[in-house]
């Protein structure tokens, strides 16, 4: 998804655009968390997702053992 | 029987003792209240203790026994409930300061069913704010593990794990989204079960993630879990997603044994480098017990399994951000810094990435269910190690790499939430330092009976469940 981590300034700009009140106190950890998501979810790009539907993975009663 | 023995007596036996008039519900409630008074200032399992109403209900239950009334399957049993379930006339905080004065005017369906079965509500149990891990300043007291109070007790059904382990109730009702029953069950050395999504009603459960939230038991024995599971399971017109399948008698099915049962141990956990040696050894030894009892035990691969934690957190944090959007926008300071920062970060994820996360969830479901076509149950450690120290649980200074590793560690319970299948954690040993180790047993959709049967077979051929924490 991304190779270069977002800076706190970039995260603050994103939050401002989305109307989210990210305080100066929260910004460092929010930045770490956004970057962790982007980095941690990057392996999803390697998965064969083209034919997978994005619907919740709910069971159906007929699948009962 | 000395008081401590009575407090730890399984629910299945307490029910019979009450029916035989050898123990009265009033005596039981008083005993658990005294234990709460004695221990809970340290442990902080409870947010609210319903002292007066519990005693009143106990007197009514005792009168019913004296009259010879027909008694429910949990008649006179003092049960505590996670503070995420609505309880009529009893405040329901969801672990937040914002709901400190919220008193619902109706019960969650799971609570209604426990009451109809004769259970007595002893109180409401502590949990992190909104059910999200990472709460730093616990509004209702820092919960502590009864096996070692310097250690955490797991989350988010935190109070349930503590109260069941330290016998501050006969049994507890928890809620599991990504491991919220199984993680504290593992850390506190008790049995905790997440049923198939749709097996038990979510009505009256304050939501975390609508497609993963489940109600389930937290108990000291597998039979007690089966009894409570049987009570709360089944279709509820108030939750349209509950299945209309009949509810099996899970208790009656416990003694079927495991001869011929196909058991798959998930290989990736043991090759991840995340697993503590003692935990790996204990889970391997437990599966060997199942093998000696006649199960066919083999290794199985679920290639995506260690991605589950980050996939789950992307969904859970986004879902929570939507649930708490008003507070995030208007009163962010009322939210604890931990959950607030989780929700803010998730709110900034690109929509296209979230779409991909939901696709990946389904791919993982397919891998898990493919494994469950070849095996009747899957086995894994419930967590990669025992409960950590409370000061270690603070995450404010974590780096990106720390967080990714934390999510990988959460990949022990969350895959089965993503796949919406039943999963149970039970004690299978202790570390040299005396902390419990949990084994997880996973079943097919609506296969709670098979999971409970395998767990019962292990329990009756082992002794991990017989140990009591020092603080009890």
What per-residue confidence (pLDDT) applies to B471? 79
What per-residue confidence (pLDDT) applies to B83? 98
What per-residue confidence (pLDDT) applies to A51? 87
Q: How many residue pairs from chains A and B have C-beta atoms closer than 8 A?
A: 148
Asked if residue A63 has pLDDT above 70, the reply is: no
The answer to whether the predicted template modeling score (pTM) of the entire model surpasses 0.80 is yes
What per-residue confidence (pLDDT) applies to A62? 61
Residue B156 falls in the annotated catalytic set: yes
Quote ipTM for the complex.
0.93
Between the alpha carbon of residue A33 and those of residues A38, B68, B146, B235, B338, the distances in Å are: 9, 60, 32, 39, 11
d(CA B163, CA B171): 8
Which chain A residues are Cβ-neighbours of B332 within 8 angstroms?
Answer: 21, 23
- A23 to chain B, minimum CA–CA distance in Å? 9
d(CA A7, CA A14): 11
- B156 to chain A, minimum CA–CA distance in Å? 20
Q: Using alpha carbons, select from B388, B449, B406 the residue that is nearest to residue B424.
A: B449
d(CA B345, CA A36): 10
- Which residue in the block uniquely carries the two structure tokens 């974590």? B398
C-beta of residue B346 within 8 angstroms of C-beta of residue B315: no
What per-residue confidence (pLDDT) applies to B123? 98
pLDDT digits (tens, 9 = 90+) for B315-337: 999 999 998 999 999 999 989 89
Q: Which residues of chain B have pLDDT under 70?
A: 1-2, 392-396, 472
Which chain B residues are Cβ-neighbours of A56 within 8 angstroms?
Answer: 211, 358, 361
Q: Using alpha carbons, select from B444, B445, B439, B431 the residue that is nearest to residue B413.
A: B439
What per-residue confidence (pLDDT) applies to B392? 53
What per-residue confidence (pLDDT) applies to A49? 94
Asked if residue A1 has pLDDT above 50, the reply is: no
Domains of chain B: 3-466 (3.90.1300.10)
C-beta of residue B130 within 8 angstroms of C-beta of residue B84: no
Residue B462 falls in the annotated catalytic set: no
Residue B318 falls in the annotated catalytic set: no
Please state the domain extents for chain A: 1-11+22-47
- B119 to chain A, minimum CA–CA distance in Å? 29
B198, B304, B346 ranked by CB distance to A59: nearest: B198
């Amino acid at each position: 998804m991304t190779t270069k981590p977002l800076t706190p300034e970039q995260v603050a700009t994103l939050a401002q655009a989305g109307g989210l009140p990210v305080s100066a106190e929260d910004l460092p950890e929010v930045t770490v968390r956004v970057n962790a998501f982007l980095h941690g979810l990057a392996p999803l790009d390697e998965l064969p997702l083209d034919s997978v539907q994005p619907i919740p993975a709910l069971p159906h009663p007929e699948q009962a053992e | 029987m000395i008081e401590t023995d009575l407090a730890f007596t399984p629910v299945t036996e307490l029910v019979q003792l009450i029916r035989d008039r050898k123990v009265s519900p009033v005596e039981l409630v008083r005993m658990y209240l005294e234990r709460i008074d004695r221990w809970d200032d340290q442990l902080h399992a409870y947010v609210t203790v319903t002292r007066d109403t519990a005693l009143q209900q106990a007197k009514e239950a005792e009168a019913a026994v004296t009259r010879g009334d027909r008694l429910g399957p949990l008649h006179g049993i003092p049960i505590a409930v996670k503070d995420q379930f609505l309880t009529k006339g009893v405040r329901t905080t969801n672990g937040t300061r914002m709901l400190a004065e919220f008193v619902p005017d109706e019960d969650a369906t799971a609570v209604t069913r426990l009451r109809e079965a004769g259970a007595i509500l002893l109180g409401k149990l502590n949990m992190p704010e909104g059910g999200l891990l990472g709460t730093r300043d616990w509004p209702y007291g820092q919960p502590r593990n009864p096996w070692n109070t310097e250690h955490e007790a797991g989350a988010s059904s935190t109070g349930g794990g503590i109260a069941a382990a330290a016998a501050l109730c006969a049994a507890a009702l928890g809620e599991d989204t990504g491991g919220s029953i199984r993680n504290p069950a593992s850390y506190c050395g008790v049995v905790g079960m997440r049923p198939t999504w749709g097996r038990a009603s979510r009505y009256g459960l304050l939501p975390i993630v609508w497609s993963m939230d489940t109600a389930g038991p937290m108990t000291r024995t597998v039979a007690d879990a089966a009894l409570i599971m049987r009570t709360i399971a089944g279709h509820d017109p108030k939750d349209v997603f509950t299945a209309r399948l009949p509810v099996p008698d899970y208790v009656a099915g416990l003694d079927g044994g495991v001869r011929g049962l196909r058991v798959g141990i998930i290989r990736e956990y043991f090759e991840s480098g995340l697993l503590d040696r003692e935990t790996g050894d204990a889970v391997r030894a437990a599966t060997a017990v199942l093998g000696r009892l006649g199960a066919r035990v083999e290794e199985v691969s679920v290639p995506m399994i260690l991605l589950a934690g980050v996939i789950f957190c992307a969904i859970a944090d986004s879902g929570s951000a939507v649930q708490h959007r008003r507070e995030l926008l208007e009163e962010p300071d009322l939210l604890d810094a931990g959950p607030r920062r989780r929700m803010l970060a998730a709110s900034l994820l690109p929509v296209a990435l979230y779409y991909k996360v939901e696709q990946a969830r389904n791919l993982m479901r397919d891998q898990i269910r493919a494994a469950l076509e070849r095996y009747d149950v899957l086995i894994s450690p419930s967590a990669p190690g025992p409960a950590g120290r409370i000061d270690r649980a603070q995450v404010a200074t974590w780096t990106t790499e720390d967080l990714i590793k934390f999510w990988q560690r959460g990949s022990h319970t969350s895959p089965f939430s993503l796949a919406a299948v039943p999963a149970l954690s039970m004690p299978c040993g202790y570390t040299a330092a005396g902390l419990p180790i949990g084994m997880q047993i996973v079943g097919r959709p609506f296969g709670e009976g098979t999971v409970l049967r395998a767990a019962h077979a292990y329990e009756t051929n082992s002794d991990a469940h017989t140990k009591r924490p020092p603080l009890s």
